[in-house]
Amino acid sequence: MIIVPANTLAAGGFSVDNSIQLISQDSPRLSKTFGTPTNQDIWTFSVWCKRARLGTTQNLTACQSSGTKLTSLRFDSDNALNFYEYNGSYVGQIKTNRLFRDTSAWYHIVIVWDSGNGTAGDRMKMYVNGVEETSFSADTNPSSGLDSDMNTSGETFDLGNANNGNFFEGYLAEAVFVDGQALAPTSFGEFDEDSPTIWKPLDVSGLTFGDNGGYFDFEDSDNLGDDESGNTNDLTEANISAVHQVTDTPTNNFCILSQLHPYGSVVQAYHDGATKFVTGAGNAWRAVAGSIAVTSGKYYYELKINTASANNSYSIGWLSTNNMPSSIWTTYLGDINGPALGLGKGGTLDYSTHTANSQTDTGWTSYTNGEIIMCAIDLDNNFAYWGREGTWMKSGNPESGATGTGGFAFENTLGYDWLPAFGSTEGASGSSPHMSANFGHGSFANVSGAPSAISSAGTNASGFGVFEFNVPAGYGAICTKQMNE
The one-digit pLDDT tens for each residue of the chain (485 residues) are 233 343 444 456 899 999 999 999 899 999 999 999 999 999 999 999 999 999 999 999 999 876 688 999 999 999 999 999 999 999 999 999 999 999 999 999 999 999 999 999 999 999 999 999 999 999 999 999 999 999 999 999 999 999 999 999 999 999 999 999 999 999 999 999 888 889 999 999 999 999 999 999 999 999 999 999 999 999 999 999 999 999 999 999 999 998 776 554 556 555 789 998 887 666 677 788 899 999 999 999 999 998 766 667 889 999 988 766 555 566 778 877 678 999 999 999 999 888 888 899 999 999 988 899 999 999 999 999 999 999 999 999 999 999 999 999 998 988 889 999 998 876 655 566 788 999 999 999 988 778 899 998 999 999 999 999 999 999 999 999 999 98
Instruction: Note whether residue 269 is domain-resident.
Output: no
Whether residue 463 sits in one domain with residue 367 = yes
In a domain, residue 322? The reply is yes
* Full domain range(s) for residue 74: 7-246
Residue 347 CA to residue 456 CA, distance in Å, equals: 27
Q: What is the dihedral of CA 428, 344, 294, 375, to 10 degrees?
A: 110
438 vs 275: CA distance, rounded Å: 7
Counting Cβ atoms within 10 Å, is residue 382 exposed (0-12), middle (13-18) or buried (19+)?
middle
Residues 281 and 241 in one domain: no
Task: Mark which of 193, 228, 246 sits at the end of a domain.
Answer: 246
- Cα separation, 378 vs 250, in Å, equals 26
For 190-227, how does the pLDDT look when each residue is reduced to its tens digit (9 = 90+)? 999 888 889 999 999 999 999 999 999 999 999 999 99
- The model carries a pTM of 0.94
Of 474, 275, 291, which is closest to residue 383 (Cα–Cα)? 474
Q: Torsion-angle region of residue 118: left (phi > 0), alpha (psi -120 to 50) or beta?
A: alpha
For residue 459, the domain's CATH number is 2.60.120.920
Interatomic CA distance for residues 225 and 296, integer angstroms? 38
164-173: per-residue pLDDT in tens? 999 999 999 9
Residues 6+ apart with CB under 8 A from 391: none
pLDDT tens by residue, 30-68: 999 999 999 999 999 999 999 999 999 999 999 987 668
CA distance linking residue 78 with residue 265, whole number of Å: 16
Considering the domain architecture, whether residues 194 and 337 belong to the same structural domain is answered as no
Asked if residue 52 and residue 151 are part of one domain, the reply reads yes
Report the alpha-carbon distance of residue 167 to residue 246 in Å, rounded: 18
Residue 50 lies in a domain: yes
198 and 300 share one domain: no
Amino acid letter, residue 416: Y
68 and 188 share one domain = yes
Overall domain count for the chain: 2
In this prediction, residue 308 carries a pLDDT of: 64
In-domain check, residue 192:
yes
3-state secondary structure of 5: coil
Query: Three-class SS string for 332-355?
Result: CHHHCCCCEEEECCCCCEEEECCC
Q: Please enumerate, as own/partner, the contacts of 445-450 that have beta carbons within 8 Å and a separation of 24 or more.
A: 445/271, 445/272, 445/275, 445/276, 445/306, 446/272, 446/306, 447/278, 447/306, 447/307, 448/25, 449/26, 450/23, 450/26, 450/239, 450/241, 450/243, 450/244
What pairs with residue 191 in β-bridges?
199
| ∠ CA 405-407-305, rounded to 5° | 135
